[in-house]
Amino acid sequence: MIKGIHHISMKCATEEEYSKVKEFYITLLGLKICRAWPSGIMIDTGNGFIEVFTNAQGEHRLGAIRHIAFLTDDVDGTVEKVRKAGYEVIVEPNDRVIGSDPEYPIRMAFCIGPLGEQIEFFCERKER
């Protein structure tokens, strides 16, 4: 029986990429390392983990999994912090209503992370 998502995994090809990943996820976003080993780390997101390996080869490509979405209470503040750190914001903070039943009001934005991954900052809005 599936209980949830345990982790997503990323691989760095260089020490520079590894340093950028740690700077982005740990220093900038404030996530914590929960374990480390010679070829990687596991970062706690609060309800799952990001596993980062240092042994990748070749080019990074966007695959079938389109993005990582982080739940936050402050989409705008998080985006400003990311922008000030030099990361590209590809979708500015905006409000949307997902046309589901029941409707799902959200606030969201996207940036490009240190390995070229798409990252969404997502907030569930209360109905008015």
54-60 long-range contacts (CB < 8 A, ≥24 apart) are 54/11, 54/12, 54/15, 54/18, 55/11, 56/11, 56/12, 56/13, 57/13, 58/13, 60/13, 60/115, 60/116, 60/117
Q: CATH number of the domain that 70 lies in?
A: 3.10.180.10
Q: Are residues 6 and 37 in the same domain?
A: yes
**Residue 59 class from Cβ within 10 Å (0-12 exposed, 13-18 middle, 19+ buried)?**
exposed
Q: What digits encode the pLDDT tens for the residues 23-65?
A: 999 999 999 999 999 989 999 999 999 999 988 776 677 677 7
Residue 45 token pair? 């997101």
Between CA 74 and CA 109 the distance in angstroms is 11
Q: In total, how many domains does the chain have?
A: 2
Q: Are residues 82 and 122 in the same domain?
A: yes
Q: β-strand 7-11 against 49-53: which pairing, if any?
A: parallel
Q: Are residues 45 and 83 in the same domain?
A: no
Q: Are residues 54 and 73 in the same domain?
A: no
Global confidence as pTM: 0.89
- In this prediction, residue 13 carries a pLDDT of 87
- Alpha helices, DSSP H only, in 4-68? 15-22
Q: Are residues 8 and 44 in the same domain?
A: yes
Q: Are residues 32 and 86 in the same domain?
A: no
> What is the domain extent for residue 24?
1-59
Q: What digits encode the pLDDT tens for the residues 81-96?
A: 999 999 999 999 999 9
Q: Are residues 73 and 124 in the same domain?
A: yes
Q: Are residues 15 and 44 in the same domain?
A: yes
Confidence bin at 118 (pLDDT 50/70/90): very high
